[in-house]
């Protein structure tokens, strides 16, 4: 698949610029997951990766013109929220430990 088929529209360029930005953001959030001094930092970074994945799917839906991908984005947005809640519950249950 070539990057642009036919005349290049502004929307396509915006979508591809967005892909680059979101990918960089996911890499930065991943660094925070690995480095993150404390557990809450890692949980927040994972939540951020979930949100960025939702935006990546949304961008892909725009770039490919398939509205079906938006349903995947809805599902991921609803479920990644649950993951964050479960992690925060785990932190609460484990008690106040600075690092582990």
Partner 1 sequence: MNSLILRSATQLLLTILLLFSFFLMLRGHDLPGGGFIGGLVAAAAVALYAIAFGYRAAQAMLRISPRALVGWGLLAAVASGFLALLQGQAFLTGQWWIVELGGGAELKLSSPLLFDIGVYLVVVGTILTMLFALEER
Residues forming contacts to partner 1 in the complex (CB under 8 A) are 68, 71-72, 74-75, 78-79, 81-82, 85-86, 89, 92
CB nearer to partner 1: give 8 or 82.
82
Closest approach of partner 1 to the CB of residue 13, in Å: 28
Least Å from the CB of residue 78 to partner 1: 6
Do residues 38 and 47 lie in contact, with contact meaning Cβ atoms separated by under 8 Å?
no
Largest CA distance in the chain: 58
Q: Which is nearer to partner 1, 49 or 73 (CB)?
A: 73
- In order of 22, 51, 73, 82, 90, the CA distances from 76 in angstroms are 16, 8, 5, 10, 21
We find the least distance from the C-beta atom of residue 96 to partner 1, in angstroms, to be 16
CB 42 within 8 A of CB 55: no
> CB of 31: closest distance to partner 1 in angstroms?
29
User: Can you tell me the distance from the alpha carbon of 66 to that of 38, in angstroms, rounded to the nearest whole number?
Assistant: 40
Identity of the residue, 24 or 86, whose beta carbon is nearer to partner 1 in the bound complex: 86
């Amino acid at each position: 698949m070539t990057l642009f088929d036919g005349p290049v529209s502004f929307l396509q360029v915006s979508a591809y610029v967005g892909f680059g930005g979101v990918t960089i953001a996911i890499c930065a959030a991943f660094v925070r997951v690995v480095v993150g001094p404390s557990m809450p930092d890692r949980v927040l970074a994972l939540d951020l990766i979930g949100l960025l994945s939702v935006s990546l799917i949304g961008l892909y839906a725009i770039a490919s013109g398939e509205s079906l991908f938006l349903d995947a984005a809805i599902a991921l947005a609803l479920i990644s929220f649950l993951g964050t809640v479960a992690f925060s519950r785990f932190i609460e249950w484990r008690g106040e430990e600075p690092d582990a």
